[in-house]
Amino acid sequence: METFNIFDRLLGENILSALVSVILPLVFLIIYALIAILGELKISAWIQERLGPMRTGPYGILQPLAEVIKLIQKEDIVPAGANRLLFNLAPFVIFAGSFAGFAVIPFTAAFVPAEINIGLFYVFAVGAFAVIGIVMGGWASNNKYSLLGAMRSASQMISYEIPGALVILSAAVLANSLDMQKISALQSGPFWNWFLFGGPGDWSKIWILPFTLLLSLIYMISSFAETNRTPFDIPEGESELVAGYHTEYSGMKFAMFFFAEYSNMFIVAAILTVIFLGGWNSPFGEFMNGFWWGLFWFILKAMFIVFIQIWLRWTLPRVRVDQLMYLGWKILLPFSLVCFIVISLYRIIY
C-alpha cells in the first residue's frame, strides 16, 4: 500500500496542512488520555474485586471529566525556597519530550505527521527529554524526597534506554530501514509477517523466531521501565517517598505530569506496535485492510499494550532500586546483545 500524508493531498503542501498534522495527534492524545484514565480506574477496580467509579455518569463514564475539572480548579502552590523557573518548567519539558515523539508515529498508511527516514532514531532521542524534566522537577522542589525520587528516576531511565536501543537496532537490521512508515508497510499481509514472528520472508525465518519473541519481551520490559510504572515505579514509590518527584506539585502542573505519563504509555505502546505487531496492517491479510481500517487496527493494538501496562501495575509488587539496575544491566543487556548478533547474522546469510 502506498504511503502518503492525506492532508498534503487535501490542503496542499503548505503551513496549513502542517498545522493540522500537529493538532490532530494532540486532539487524539487528549481523547485517549481521558479514556485511559477511565480505563485505569475501572480495570484496577475489577482486578481488586470492587466496582470503581459508579456515580459520575452511568457506570462512572464521566469520571475523567470530573478529574479534569477538579485539577483545573486547584490552587497552584509553589513551595518557598523552590527555584520558580525550573519548578514551573519541569512538567512541560516532560510533556514536550513525549509529545514530540508523536511526530513520527504512523497512525495509518495515509497519515504520518512527519515522514522522516530516521524516524526510529528520532523517537528515541526525543524520549530522553523526559529525564531532564524529571531531574528538574525533583531538584527544583527543594524537598529531599523529591530529590531522591528524581535521582532514582534518572538512573532508571538511562539504564533502561540501552536494551531498548539495542532492540530498536535489531529491528532496523531486520527491516533494513529506520523509517517507521516503511517498517509498517513491510509487515503487510497476514499476521505471520509481523516482525514478532520474524518478518516477511520464507520459512528460513524460523531460525530467528525465538529471538524476535525475546526481543519483543525485552522491549516491553525496558519500555515499561521508561514510563515509570509499577513494577518499576520507584521514582514515585508511594509507600516510600510519598510521591517522589511530583510531591510538591498541585493543580494544573500535576495534571501535566499525569498527562505526560499517559502520553508516554501510548508512545511506548505505539512503537511496540509498529515494530513488532505490524503497525496499521490487518492481521488477516487483505480482509479488513484499508486506510481507515488501518487506523482502527493501529489503535486497537496500541490500546491492547496499554491495557497490559495497566494490568501489570496492579498485579506485581515493586522492584527495589538496586535490583532494578541489576535487571537492566546484567540481564536485559546481555540478552539483547545476543539477539542483535543473531539477527545480524541472519540478515547477512539470507
- In the complex, least distance from residue 230 CB atom to other proteins, rounded to whole angstroms: 6
33-67 burial, b if ≥16 CB within 10 A, otherwise e? Answer: bbebbbbbbbbbbeeeeeebbeeeeeebebbbeeb
Contact window for other proteins (CB under 8 A) among 168-176, 179-187, 231-239, 248-256: 231-239
> Which residue in the set 67, 233, 248, 261 belongs to the binding site for other proteins (CB under 8 A)?
233
In whole angstroms, give the CA distance from residue 237 to residue 8.
46
- In the complex, least distance from residue 215 CB atom to other proteins, rounded to whole angstroms: 22
DSSP string, 130-192: HHHHHHHHHHHTT-HHHHHHHHHHHHHHHHHHHHHHHHHHHHHHHHT---HHHHHHHT-SBGG
> Hey, what's the torsion of the CAs at 134, 135, 136, 139, to 10 degrees?
120
Q: What are phi and psi of 190, to 5 degrees?
A: -65, 170
- Which CB, 194 or 232, lies closer to other proteins? 232
Say whether residue 320 binds other proteins (CB under 8 A).
Answer: yes
> Which residue in the set 9, 31, 85, 238 belongs to the binding site for other proteins (CB under 8 A)?
238
Per-residue contact flags (x/-) with other proteins for residues 111 to 150, judged by CB under 8 A: ---------------------------------xx--x--
Q: What are phi and psi of 279, to 5 degrees?
A: 60, -130
Per-residue contact flags (x/-) with other proteins for residues 254 to 283, judged by CB under 8 A: ------------------------------
Three-state DSSP at 315 gives coil
- In the complex, least distance from residue 298 CB atom to other proteins, rounded to whole angstroms: 31
- In the complex, least distance from residue 105 CB atom to other proteins, rounded to whole angstroms: 31
Contact window for other proteins (CB under 8 A) among 108-116, 186-194, 205-213, 309-317: 309-317
Per-residue contact flags (x/-) with other proteins for residues 49 to 88, judged by CB under 8 A: xx--------------------------------------
> Hey, what's the torsion of the CAs at 146, 165, 107, 5, to 10 degrees?
120
